[in-house]
Amino acid sequence: MKKEPASSSLSRGISRGSLIAILINLFIGAGIFGLPSRAFALAGSYSVLAFVICGGLIGLIILCFLEVGSRFPGTGGPYLYARKTFGRLTGFQVGWLLWLTRITSFAIICDVLLSYLSAIWPTINDGITRTVLVTAIVIVLTTINYLGVRHAARVSNVFAVMKLVPLAMFVLVGIWFIEPGHFQFQPMPNANTLALAVMVLIFAFSGFEVATINTGEVQNPEKAFPYALFFTVALVLVFYLAIQIVAIGTLPSLATSSRPLADAATVFVGPIGAAVIVVGAIISTSGTLNAGLLGGSRLPYAMARENQVPSFFGQTHTKYHTPTSSLIITAVACWLACLTFNFVEALTINSVIRLITYAIVCAALPVLRRRPDTRPPNYVVRMGPWVSGFALLLCAWLLSRVSVAEVLQVSGAIVLGGILYGLSAIRR
């Protein structure tokens, strides 16, 4: 394995079309195949409203990301923004926490993938079978990403197209079988319950921040990102609302279903429909795992370039221009997480950490506007401070609903990040 020193650069091999495909893979992944039932169990038919609220919040956050990110064309995403705006400690914590979300997301998505596979392979989650399959998935995706960003982007393009087809079929066929009586809007959930439903759905709408990590590998990022993000968010919100409406209207047992889309398709099409959804879920989750590993492996690389982790994380391959050490270590961490966590255990803590990192980026917008020493933005949000403030209020509202146990878990991760930062400072 040939490597270059940390000063070598990555290759700008991601086109605008490939960026849209990566975003589709990051947005539409495991969440939409597993969360309709979870959201419905919390908020009933008002889960449709929870989708709208969550989509609106993500839209505000994305506006902040666009302005803040347009000041920083390099690799790193939220880590780089926090590092340049609030200093080394905050930057390190954001990079560390964001890397943890990639690891836990990989475990969540892999769990959904195996859940849908169990429909055609019932013993897949038994002991050694699960371990062998998880190991094979990690090895294949690591190999694809090791061979260069262009290969990873091409694979992402294929997955993006293939995953939209079964979801579109689910909506276009299922809409004719909706039973209006399945929608019950009494009683209305209280604010706490609705907030919990929105918190759960954060996972389904998140992932876009991972694409910003790869800014240093995107062609003309200042033009590509606004177009790609607006297009993808609009597409995803329409898909999600339509899917939730069909799921509620066709599946009476939605609240208790572990494979809600497959079970709903069985109701209105039969076993063939369920098989199509199962295949679609396998393709969708595989594409998201690939895109997540692509972005997650660049975080330690970006931190190495800022001298906040050992320099070998910043080494790139002489031929493929991929951060090999960072990729392999991230892949091993994903593999261990898949064998340790399940869907429910990792879901909420993942959403909490994401909200914290989102809030820091939103807070950076007004701060950077008052800083004359920073690069002017290529994208300026109208009424930016108001957009930032409203997004921060919504993030605070959701975080105020977090349980004590979840606070302790996230606090433990932050304390560990502080210890790692201290060790990094001593090393420097």
CA-only gyration radius of the chain, Å = 21
Residue 331 one-letter amino acid: A
User: Torsion angle, CA of 72/74/76/80, rounded to 10 degrees?
Assistant: -40
| 300 vs 235: CA distance, rounded Å | 31
Q: Which residue has the tokens 């991760």?
A: 413
Please provide the distance, in angstroms rounded to a whole number, between the alpha carbons at the two ends of the chain: 27
Per the CB < 8 A criterion, the answer to whether 204 and 109 are in contact is no
Per the CB < 8 A criterion, the answer to whether 381 and 77 are in contact is no
Residue 218's beta-bridge partner residues?
14
Q: Residue ranges per domain, the chain?
A: 3-427
4 three-class SS: strand
Question: pLDDT in tens for each of the 428 residues of the chain?
Answer: 334 344 345 566 677 677 777 777 777 766 677 778 888 888 888 999 999 998 888 889 989 988 898 888 776 788 888 988 998 889 889 888 888 888 888 888 888 788 778 777 777 777 788 888 888 888 988 887 777 656 555 666 666 667 778 888 889 999 999 988 888 887 788 878 888 888 888 877 877 777 776 666 677 777 777 878 888 888 888 888 999 999 999 998 888 887 888 888 888 888 887 788 878 778 777 777 877 787 778 778 878 877 787 777 777 767 766 778 888 888 898 888 888 766 555 666 777 888 898 999 999 999 999 888 888 888 888 888 999 999 999 889 888 887 787 788 888 888 988 888 888 777 76
Determine phi and psi for 236, rounding to 5 degrees: -65, -40
User: Topology of 3-427 in CATH?
Assistant: Amino acid/polyamine transporter I (1.20.1740)
The two three-digit tokens of residue 83, written as one number: 């590092």
Please state the pTM of the whole predicted model.
Answer: 0.78
**Spatial CB neighbours of 30, under 8 Å, sequence gap ≥ 6:** 108, 109, 111, 112, 113, 281, 284, 285, 288
Give, in degrees to the nearest 5, the angle at Cα 411 between 203 and 366: 65
Neighbour-count burial of 196, counting CB atoms closer than 10 A to its CB (0-12 exposed, 13-18 middle, 19+ buried): buried
Neighbour-count burial of 223, counting CB atoms closer than 10 A to its CB (0-12 exposed, 13-18 middle, 19+ buried): middle
